[in-house]
Copies of this chain bind each other. A is one copy, B any other.
Amino acid sequence: MDANGPSRVVIVGGGFGGLNAAKALAGQPGIDVTLIDRHNHHLFQPLLYQVATAGLSPADIATPIRTILRGRPRSRVLLDNVTGVDFAAKAITTASQTISYDYLILACGARHSYFGHQEWEEFAPGLKSLEEATEIRRRVLTAYELAEKETDPERKRQLLTFVVIGGGPTGVELAGALAEISRQTLRRDFTNIDPGRTRVLLLEAGPRILASFDPSLSAQATADLERLGVGVWTESRVTDITKEGVFLGDERVRAATVLWAAGVQASKLNQHLGAELDRQGRVVVEPDCSLADNPSVFVLGDQAHFAHDPKNPGVPLPGLCPVAIQQGKWTARNILRELKGKPREAFRYVDKGQMATIGRKRAICEIGKVRFRGMFAWLAWLLVHIYFLIGFRNRLMVMLNWGWAYLTFRRGARLIVSKDWRAHDEIQPL
């Protein structure tokens, strides 16, 4: 640490981990905070699937990072890409400059893993950014428009087939929303097709969906999805994805829209850290979330492999928002302690439980041994997500959108926007 001046804390990533660390540190005496992110906004990932399914607008779940940190003395926000870290020089390099740090907090999150088949991304976008959500929305809504004009029955069936790969919470929420769009939102809007006949398939390689939940809740979610008309295929490993659809061994499903919710891997940056990585490319961290060889460097959230939870030692914490939020706050606290000459404390995760929504009035919650589902779980899901949304405006807008959608069965953001702002004349194909 630089004895002559304030200690410089550089935070990479404005997600749940980085933002919570920044909020706890920015403005504290003796600390300069620099938060670097590729995007100008903090994104509320848990509701991203609703942007992808036309329920919410991008702006409803995103807040400018500058606004969140505005007015904090000695703190700045940079829109930039971190290209490398130099532990020896205690500096990071971005596309535009080099920035020295006394403490470095890496919270870059995760990106999609196509298990070595990056070429699948073109045919099966994942759901991590607003851009991807808008692209998924474009594909979903365009599929119905093309089906309405299609005369070839086989092609029409292909256009009205939506495949979601991956039975985790995101996959379940996407599949449920796609089913509701077909059965409710669009039901009366087309003349040549019956959106109600849309095929929605949820493919899961494992024996059950929502494997992180209790089996009884997985079963409930499966029943709820099936009641919505979703085909839930477990033990179904995708072997190839093409423009035509998905392959499962010698099985083949023709689908114009395929969505990827199967696997994630940690940020590319990890490969340049020279630290121990796990199979998903996450950095193995110490009990205080720091690096074994570089105690002034912390790695948080989806980017980190934290396996020091007393309840299940050796088992890494899951990639959930609460983990990132708590690690961000805890790390800020440890830095403040150290600056006061106190020792750091090992991170302790408080398990707040987990929840997933399947659709209107359908959700599952698991809090320790307590499990509930249905209407009550759905209301709990709504409240928790509204509560954790950042910004009064976003909370209000989301509540109003949800209220309106609940009453009308409509979706407020049914927009097809082109991929190219200069493509004035062409309808873009799927």
Contacts and interface: CB of A to CB of B under 8 A. Distances in A.
A399 B427 CA distance: 32
A143 to B, nearest CB: 11
Nearest to A121: B422
Interface string A334-377: 00000000000000000000000000000000000000000000
Contact of A427 (B38, B135, B418, B422): B38
A157 interface: no
User: Interface SS of chain A: helix, strand, loop or mixed?
Assistant: loop
A267 to B, nearest CB: 10
A10 to B, nearest CB: 15
A58 B192 CA distance: 28
Interface in A148-202: 148-149, 186, 188-192
B189 A141 contact: no
A176 to B, nearest CB: 21
Interface string A390-424: 00010011001000100000101111111111111
Interface stretch (A126-134, A223-231, A240-248, A299-307): A126-134
A131 to B, nearest CB: 4
Interface in A112-156: 121-122, 125, 128-132, 134-135, 141-142, 145-146, 148-149
Given A38-B425, A190-B66, A396-B400, A415 B145 contact: no
Contact of A81 (B59, B121, B425): B425
A141 B66 contact: no
Contacts of A38: 425, 427
Given A38-B427, A81-B427, 18 more contacts: A38-B425, A39-B416, A58-B413, A58-B417, A59-B412, A64-B414, A64-B415, A66-B186, A78-B148, A78-B149, A79-B142, A96-B149, A97-B149, A122-B422, A131-B421, A134-B417, A393-B412, A419-B420
6 contacts: A40-B145, A57-B59, A59-B412, A59-B414, A125-B421, A397-B400
